[in-house]
Amino acid sequence: MRIIQRNEADKLLLGAYFVDATGTAGPTGNCRRFGNGCAMCIYRCPTFGPRVSLAVRAGAVETVIRRRAGAPGYFSGSCELEPTSLADWLLAEVREKGLAVIPLPPEAFTEQNELSIQIKACRQYSSETYAHNLILLDTGAIKMMVPYLPLSILRRLDGFERAIFRDPLGGGRGNSIRFSGLIERDRRLMVPPLKNLFVAGERAGLSLGHTEAIVTGALAGYNAWRLSRGCEPVELPRGCVCGELIAFTGFKGGRGEKYEIVYSLSGGPLWEHLQQQNLYSTDPETIARRLDKLGLLQLFAAEKD
């Protein structure tokens, strides 16, 4: 498999089995074509260069994902503000409570916030609460739950008069574009017709989040390891949360949908589906019984010394 380096020299990577976890955000050109231009986000495309998908380079077909407006991809759903740029009273509130809900005046939320709800990848944050309020979360930095918000609007709000974006640096103008393409794979996370390539993370389907990346990454890596040992890769059955996540978020050709939805365990259609299936639980014994019934308990069991 050949990967083009930044110096344009070919490098041959040798391996028996591969996992494509290259993600979908960037490069700068995508954000210029499908977004509001490069907003200098955390991906730092000018430093590290464009993403190179192993699956695409190996000949896998990538399907374009379009948001409601028709352009490919979705905007990342949040920004980070520099904490010291907020008013002392506002910063203290966020630090004490972990969050702050700031009601937006009519002139601030109408066109801007309705637009931001339609373009963001995080569909679980598409309720009216997020349209009529500015939600701040304490993540060390101050996370603001909108894809972008012009400084001309933000700095008119109480406590934000000197607000500065930490990431993306141009968060008053735009954000990174991600989920612009989807790789078809099966429920083992193998990419047909290839027999030695798996996908994980955003490459594995329409799922967004840390937990989702861990689930797909663990299964893709495990199945690659099984192949290297001469064993068949496994498919997680529906009836457990991980199996439902993988089945729910895979490529569904021929659906006729005008746009795709990005799913998450944090909320939205996937979360509602899991609740309808009575699969949400925080009780270890309940989860263990379910996995045992599906024959998965040993697969998920933690190793003990």
pLDDT of the residue at 305: 45
Query: How far, CA to CA in Å, does 81 sit from each of 17, 139, 172, 235, 247?
Result: 41, 10, 11, 41, 36
**Residue ranges in the chain whose pLDDT is less than 50:** 1-9, 254-258, 305
Peptide bond preceding 168: is omega within 30 degrees of 0, i.e. cis? Answer: yes
Q: What's phi and psi for 36, nearest 5 deg?
A: -110, 25
pLDDT of the residue at 222: 96
Q: Name the residue type at position 300.
A: F
pLDDT tens track for 92-112: 999 999 999 998 887 766 555
pLDDT of the residue at 114: 57
pLDDT tens track for 101-152: 998 887 766 555 555 666 766 665 656 677 778 899 999 899 998 888 889 8
Nearest CA to 154 out of 212, 82, 220 is that of 82
Angle between helix axes 241-248 and 210-228 (nearest 10 degrees) is 90
